[in-house]
Amino acid sequence: MPLKRIVLRLARNPGIPDGDDKQGYVLVAPLDAGGKIDLELWRALRAKCTVDRFHPDPAEKADGLLTHRGNQWRFHYDEDEEGPDEGGYRLGDHVFKPGEYVTIASHGEDPLTYVVTEVDRVNGA
């Protein structure tokens, strides 16, 4: 089962009625046949499972790893200026297919909703 490149873009949220295609995340993760993150395959490939936060403000950009602790998936950033780990709401239960929605609590702020806009195979994976 290959790794997938998953693009999440900021969807319509309170105060952001049109969303923002310039803010979001790019995840690299293994997905099962149903489009959910495959925990067992993640364990085998964890070093390749990454997250990149993109934003028009360079200070908001960050890169790190997709991590799993207990029953929760987190975005772990290794540099202090990139901010604390971020968590998704029940990421393990979400189907990552275009048009699906995901909630992420960024920097400990109010959670925001993102829409899956792309899911592509990672070349060489």
Regarding pTM above 0.85, the answer is yes
pLDDT band at residue 107 under the 50/70/90 scheme: low
pLDDT for 2-22, tens place per residue?
A: 899 999 999 999 999 999 999
Residue 12, Cβ neighbours under 10 Å: how many? 12
Q: Domain-by-domain residue ranges, the chain?
A: 3-121
Amino acid letter for position 113: T
